[in-house]
Structure 1
Amino acid sequence: MKPGVGRMTRDEYVKLKKRKEEKKRLKQERLAKRAKAEGEREAEEDGGSSATTSETRTLSIAVPGSILENAQSAELRTYLAGQIARAACIFEVDEVIVYDDLPDTDAGRRVGVDEQVYGVRTVRRCCAQLARVLQYLECPQYLRRSFFPVHKDLEYAGLLNPLDAPHHLRQADDFAYREGIVTNHAGKAGHSYVNVGLLKEVSVKKELAPGLRVTVKLLPDKSSKKLRGEVVAPSEPRAATGVYWGYTVRIAQALSDVFCRAPYPGGYDVTLGTSDRGVSVHGLAEGSLSQHRHALVVFGGLQGLEAALESDDKLTVDDPALLFDHYLNTCPGQGSRTIRTEEAVLVSLAVLRPKFSLCEQRDNFKHTAKN
């Protein structure tokens, strides 16, 4: 007889132990079945979301950072970067790549940058400034103070025209998704609070590090005074609603890195280079590029793509046209001897839009104001 059991016989004790073990086994089986069911449900939801996201086509552009070197003052450098940002927003560009098209002969002009943000540790100063201004303008106004401390590159950013992008929501705008920053306000275990530009912070059922930028889907909950939401992938608002949701920025150390470090599985399936030495863009029929999934349009600097190719030791071809599926002159019969890069971006994206059929892919952004 086991001490502490009282007058229970050994056989009774063995039977009781077996019953407890059987209950424990059944409980574990129920928990396992429940976990499996929840896992399958989440997998189905993720699969559906992935499928929706994969159907969303993307457009990327690559511009050389050296275009800022040609500006005559700090104010003009900042304004030039603002023109690139405006063009990217107007034509719903998903990714802007700032690449270095100059030979690496002056290491002293390189500066350190955040590797987690840009993917590189050091970069030419003009590339860093262009990328920083592009990111600053893409960020909603109510988040800028949190993500962009005072910096010399942003000294004249206040002069720039705002993007007024769909995800730059005002406080009175009513929309299902919002960009936000995780605050350091303490919540219950497994929860965080996110500032999304409203009077109240949104509670999300996920423990996140403070200072992280996240995309939040607001959940309707009339039974609670608290605002509740869930953190979703940055691509979900575009995939779920068709509304343009801004662009990402990355830096490439050379022209070859533009292609090699694509963020999409399989890379870019359609690549276009722009040059006055290319074939006329009017040779492409409307909708001829409509089957693309991830398109890339590359622009040259003051010396064109030829200079960028010559400065890249990783590329062995002599003709930049060999790097692209299409090497196009997007403004044949131009009246000026040269077209500046910021002008080429606007002209090219405007003339290429019907080729991609992007104008029919998405609906215009509409929102309603709260009463």
Structure 2
Amino acid sequence: SRVGTPCGRGSSLSAMPKTAVLKKPALGAPKPKETAVRKPAQAPRPKEAASAKSAKAKAQAKAKAKAKAKAPAKARASQVKPAQTKPRPATKPAKGSVAKRPAQARESKVSGQRRLKQSAFPADNGPSLRWQRSVALGDLLDRNAIASVYKQMHFSDVVGDRPWAFDLTGIKKGLLRFGEDVAFQAEILGTESADGKFFEWSWAQRGIPSELVQSAQALRSGQGLGGNDRLPPEFMESQISMACVTGTELATVACGLLGAACYFHGYLEGADTLVLLVVDPEFPLRVPETAGDALRVSTAIQHTLALEWVENHTLALDSFMQSLSWEIHAEGDVRKYVLEWGRIAFRMEFDRQGKLRQMDTSLVPT
């Protein structure tokens, strides 16, 4: 055979010097004793040991399985599983129980706002959480909702679409202006946060002059409440979640309890919304209702009930009609409201839950 050489020419093994052939095995081959020791003849021994160990382990596992199968159920149940390193997923609370929330969730995220009192209305944690208003406030809202909407309709006719301005700390403090020709004295009931999450009463805020928080303080002290009325807890809390009650609903009740002419929302882009109460005695009042005003009364009723603020329709309509000095005639589920001198009559039917089912308007024959 031929092999390659460094010079690229072929040569035969027989032609090579004998010394070259003898030196190769002498230099590269190990001694006979070392070759006998290092040969892989004993390499299978670890494998045999490993197979023996695995066979023994299999036998032990088989014996344990048989013993476990023969063991009674109580013995198997007594075995304690090792503790889990991962936390178990949260489970839903049982029906009727109250799920606990982390303490940090109760803190208000609104900049510049105080924390809600933990005993009253916790902060809203999401759209699925809805805190109901108190029963006392719900009753007051039922009795004053329609009358307040009726006042707001008149207020809209008076001011129109004029731009507004409010003097907070100037010379004409508390003056609410509409354009250049309309102005009324007003007080600050409170503010709604820019993100629409919280309402805060004016008496709980710094920087508002004391003379502009008189109406809010009056509600806090229970002014305007009747002998059987209870003071709503919302009147005593400095800050309320608007998932419970809005500034509009509180202003609606304030108009009725304090005899205010109307309320006004002063919207400022990117800032808190002012909820103002118009308390000017010079505010132009409505003339007594005539036959032509039946549409205004009907619109106020339908608009208020469409807001779904009112729970007791019968109470709401009775209170509204009494505020307009209308006579009330009740026959079972049918109630008739008559303004005798104006010859206007409303006939209303209610269902068993007290909800308005049908309303008809007519003129009383002379």
With structure 2 as the length reference, what TM-score do the two structures score?
Answer: 0.25
> Between Structure 1 and Structure 2, whose CA radius of gyration is higher?
2
RCO higher in structure (CA 8 A, sep ≥6): 1
So what's the TM-score if we normalise by structure 1? 0.24
